[in-house]
């Protein structure tokens, strides 16, 4: 096999909690991660030599700083692979949006190289390798609904989430994840997400309890430092059943009962917000990297 085409999905956090800071500087987290249908399409082709990335998105680097490149380079070295790789990235996941787009691309690269060079590695082995380059990469491989603990790389599969529909609104500003974590003062946090309640609701397939308990601890910081994100969340709170920030931001998610409601909110916000806002209707899916 010389070519493989993969779909790399975005993720959202149904809950995101930070439990403490470790001595090595990493934060101890507890998050319920969920794959959504918004995705990038990536073609991987074996070539004679080198790693080449072609992207349709101006904000995505195509040099060594691209996570695709880093994963490929690491695997080529570790497994002493011969030949090279050309990657054609059709980017649709908003960049630096808190949707794990880069991590998902990295996960796809692990899957692709494993298949193209017949490495025979299991998903668990790929996850372990991916975790060295980014905490969200292991989740993106199998995706679905999983509980992530430790620094985010210890994963436990949870019952499949009942179908949820959402509108994603990505405002035209970038949020520094390092700044958000750096300014998080756990002693000042009044309430942590009810992760256990959401896990129980997943077991009982209780959509209403899940939606009512969607929660992201990092909102305490991002909404304070980025008032535009706070205003956007207020606006979405008025329109959707529940508004939630994704990851460290700045994307805001509006959860609703169906696709029609999601489309209505999208249409309304497109009239109210500037054109630089990316607004997408999405739904939850139960799988990670898939072949086209
Ligand atoms: P996370 O939620 O995992 O923190 P994110 O969704 O907020 O990630 P990404 O879209 O992964 O953010 O991009 C973060 C930065 O990583 C970008 O600004 C870009 O410069 C860099 N980057 C490296 N590789 C990629 C890639 N394959 N796709 C997108 N961005 C990438």
Token pair listed for 257: 């009962």
Residue 196 annotated among the catalytic residues of the structure: no
Examine the predicted complex and report whether its ipTM is higher than 0.90: yes
Quick one: how many helices (H) and strands (E) in the chain? 10, 12
151-165 tens-digit pLDDT: 999 999 999 999 999
When divided into structural domains, the chain yields a total of 2
Mean pLDDT over the full length of the chain = 97
Element (H, E) at 265: helix 259-272
Query: Has residue 225 been placed in a domain?
Result: yes
**Residue 29 in domain:** yes
Mutate to test the pocket of ligand 1, among 101, 110, 226 (most ligand atoms within 8 A of CB): 101
169 closest CA partner among 259, 282, 9, 35: 282
Question: Are both 204 and 78 inside the same structural domain?
Answer: no
Say if residue 175 carries a ligand binding annotation: no
Pairing of strands 290-291, 278-283: unpaired
Tens digit of each residue's pLDDT (9 = 90 or more) over 178-234: 999 999 999 999 999 999 999 999 999 999 999 999 999 999 999 999 999 999 999
Nearest-CA residue for ligand 1 atom 26 is 102
Catalytic residue among 11, 91, 233, 242: 11
Whether pTM exceeds 0.95: yes
Q: How far is CA 109 from the centre of its chain?
A: 16
Q: Is 128 part of the annotated catalytic residue set?
A: no
Same domain (yes/no): 115, 171:
no
Whether residues 73 and 195 share a domain: the answer is: no
Residue 227 burial (C-beta neighbours within 10 Å; 0-12, 13-18, 19+): exposed
Q: For position 204, which CATH number holds?
A: 3.30.70.890
Residues 30 and 125 in one domain: yes
> pLDDT, tens digit, for every residue of 8-46?
999 999 999 999 999 999 999 999 999 999 999 999 999
- Contacts of residue 81, defined as CB under 8 A and 6 or more positions apart, other chains included, come to 75, 113, 117
Is the C-beta atom of 100 inside 6 A of ligand 1?
yes
Q: Which of 57, 71, 102 to mutate to test the pocket of ligand 1 (most atoms within 8 A of CB)?
A: 102
The reply to whether 186 and 124 lie within a common domain is no
* Residues contacting 265, CB < 8 A, separation 6+: 167, 236, 239, 240, 254, 256
DSSP string, 195-244: HHHHHHHHHTT-HHHHHHT-EETTHHHHHHH-HHHHHHHHHHHHHSSEEE
Domain that holds residue 180: 165-283
pLDDT band at residue 146, thresholds of 50, 70 and 90? Answer: very high
């Amino acid at each position: 096999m010389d070519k493989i085409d993969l779909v790399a999905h975005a993720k959202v956090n149904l809950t995101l909690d930070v439990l403490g800071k470790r001595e090595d500087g990493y934060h101890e987290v507890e998050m319920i991660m969920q794959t959504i249908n918004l995705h990038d399409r990536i073609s991987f082709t074996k070539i004679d030599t080198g790693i080449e990335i072609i992207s349709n998105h101006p904000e995505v680097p195509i040099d060594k700083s691209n996570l695709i490149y880093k994963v490929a380079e690491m695997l080529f070295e570790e497994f002493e692979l011969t030949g090279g790789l050309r990657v054609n990235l059709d980017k649709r996941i908003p960049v630096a949006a808190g949707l794990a787009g880069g991590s998902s691309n990295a996960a796809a690269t692990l899957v692709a190289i494993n298949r193209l060079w017949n490495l025979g590695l299991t998903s668990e082995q790929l996850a372990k390798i991916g975790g060295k380059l980014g905490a969200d990469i292991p989740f993106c491989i199998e995706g679905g609904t999983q509980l992530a603990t430790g620094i985010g790389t210890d994963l436990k599969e949870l019952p499949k989430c009942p179908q949820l529909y959402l509108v994603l609104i990505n405002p035209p500003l970038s949020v520094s994840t390092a700044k958000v974590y750096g300014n998080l003062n756990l002693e000042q946090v009044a309430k942590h997400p009810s992760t256990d309640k959401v896990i129980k609701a997943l077991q009982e397939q209780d959509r209403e309890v899940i939606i009512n308990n969607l929660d992201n601890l990092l909102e305490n910081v991002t909404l304070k430092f980025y008032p535009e994100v706070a205003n956007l969340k207020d606006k979405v709170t008025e329109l959707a059943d529940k508004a939630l920030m994704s990851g460290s931001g700045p994307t805001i998610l509006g959860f609703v009962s169906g696709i029609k409601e999601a489309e209505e909110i999208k249409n309304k916000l497109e009239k109210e917000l500037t054109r630089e806002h990316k607004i997408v209707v999405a739904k939850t899916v139960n799988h990670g990297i898939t072949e086209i």
